[in-house]
Chains A and B, each alone.
Chain A
């Protein structure tokens, strides 16, 4: 069964450094998403992406964040200058359509900012 993959599984970085989290969505999916989950808290929506542009973003997704689909398979989340509070699990998801279509989640990348 097709699945969403994410790399790396764990990323440790120093405060102020840039990080790029990578995701490979399911190949025929057109909608892509990033979520984060701070330890012990709920899953929070960051951004949705369709047709090479952001279609929706939350208040969390400020100028420090950016997303890109650099080629036909990868979908990346970049944090330009990491802060301690960026430490969280970041989940990528994809869906074939929107309108309530099932979002398939990757296993997540645990980001630790020291």
Chain B
């Protein structure tokens, strides 16, 4: 069965500090992996995705994620946090079982302190 686990419902960092949001997945078929960001009262915006090409994926706003098959992880990082990064972040795994389905993690709310 496919599943996504995000470690830490809340993460707080200082402005300029490293951002690390953790995501582990379980999938019986090769997964497609995504990170989405959701700002208050808005929809979901794609940050980056892994679709079996390069394992280190660069996204928008300076974010990147590395697919590690041996660890079944797809952690999101950013070298230096900015106040505007404060939002909810969702890791998602997509797979095909007949149709195409995406499962989201529970989300991690990122707080950035001045």
By a beta-carbon cutoff of 8 Å, the part of chain A in contact with chain B is: 31, 33, 35, 41-45, 48, 50, 54-58, 91, 93, 98-100, 102-108
In the complex the two chains form, is B90's CB within 8 Å of A55's CB? no
Q: Identify whether the interface residues of B are mostly helix, strand, loop, or mixed.
A: strand
In the complex the two chains form, is A45's CB within 8 Å of B32's CB? no
CA A41 – CA B98 in complex, angstroms? 27
For B46, give the chain A residue with the smallest CB separation: A102
Q: Identify whether the interface residues of A are mostly helix, strand, loop, or mixed.
A: strand
By a beta-carbon cutoff of 8 Å, the part of chain B in contact with chain A is: 32, 36, 42-46, 49, 51-52, 90, 92, 94, 96-107
Known pairs A48-B99, A98-B96, A100-B32; A108 contacts B43 (CB<8 A): yes
Known A-B contacts: A44-B104, A45-B102, A99-B100. Give 4 more (CB < 8 A). Answer: A43-B107, A99-B96, A100-B32, A103-B102
Max chain B Cβ within 10 angstroms of own Cβ: one of A43, A50, A58? A43
Tell me how many residue pairs across A and B have CB atoms closer than 8 Å.
64
When A and B form their complex, which 6 residue pairs have the shortest distance between CB atoms, in order from nearest?
A: A56-B99, A55-B99, A100-B32, A98-B100, A100-B51, A43-B104
CA A17 – CA B84 in complex, angstroms? 40
In the complex the two chains form, is A107's CB within 8 Å of B49's CB? no
CA A114 – CA B76 in complex, angstroms? 39
In the complex the two chains form, is B103's CB within 8 Å of A45's CB? yes
Chain B residues positioned under 8 Å from A58 (CB to CB): 101
CA A64 – CA B24 in complex, angstroms? 33
